[in-house]
């Protein structure tokens, strides 16, 4: 199979995470390897094998990828300055999920946030039905909180902070 060759709709993305309380996150090199690595975290619904991963029941996937970082150089007497990209970290993802207090994935995320030092591999998988492209990163969870405002279902909100440089792209 090859990567999807079409413009994808937003709802085709899903979020997956490693199982177990103390996972071994993928190496930076393997974050860009689909077969036997990223595919083991992505479930069969998104064309993975799913042996070591589970779906996180999020309402929507926020923007994912790189943050911007740049250095601005100016030289006196020079006509113009120079802006060049510098090493930028993967962007943090603030995620909202409907709060089911018995959901295994949400309980694991709550435990990770309680710890604050658990590195775990997460994968955003965009599937068009038959083919998938994956953005995998290692991150830690923080700011887990519940919004139980009346007038709507209770929501569980948390932020995943990816570790620097530890991300990669892959596809089926």
Q: Which residues bind another protein (CB under 8 A)?
A: 2-13, 60-70, 73, 78-88, 91, 124, 126, 133, 135, 169, 171
Q: In the complex with another protein, which residue's Cβ is closer, 99 or 169? A: 169
Q: In the complex with another protein, which residue's Cβ is closer, 79 or 117? A: 79
Q: In the complex with another protein, which residue's Cβ is closer, 113 or 123? A: 123
The least distance separating another protein from the CB of residue 75, rounded to whole angstroms, comes to: 9
Secondary structure letter of residue 1 according to DSSP: -
Secondary structure letter of residue 22 according to DSSP: S
- Alpha carbon of 25 to those of 7, 17, 41: distances in Å? 30, 10, 11
The least distance separating another protein from the CB of residue 170, rounded to whole angstroms, comes to: 11
The least distance separating another protein from the CB of residue 131, rounded to whole angstroms, comes to: 8
Nearest residue to 120 via CA among 78, 69, 76, 158: 158
Q: Are strands 82-85 and 70-73 parallel, antiparallel or unpaired?
A: antiparallel
């Amino acid at each position: 199979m090859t990567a999807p060759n079409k413009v994808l709709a937003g709802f085709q993305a899903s979020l997956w995470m490693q199982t177990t309380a103390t996972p071994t996150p993928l190496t930076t090199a393997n974050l860009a390897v689909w077969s036997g690595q990223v595919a083991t975290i992505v479930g069969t619904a998104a064309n993975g094998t799913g042996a070591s991963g589970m779906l996180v029941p999020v309402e929507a996937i926020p923007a994912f990828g790189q943050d911007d970082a740049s250095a601005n150089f100016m030289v006196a007497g020079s006509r113009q300055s120079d802006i060049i990209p510098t090493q930028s970290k993967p962007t943090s993802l603030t995620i909202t999920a409907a709060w089911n207090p018995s959901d295994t994935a949400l309980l694991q995320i709550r435990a990770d946030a309680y710890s604050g030092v658990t590195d775990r591999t997460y994968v955003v998988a965009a599937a068009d039905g038959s083919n998938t492209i994956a953005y995998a990163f290692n991150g830690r969870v923080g700011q887990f909180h519940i919004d139980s405002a009346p007038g709507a279902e209770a929501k569980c909100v948390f932020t995943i902070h990816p570790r620097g440089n530890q991300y990669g792209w892959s596809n089926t």
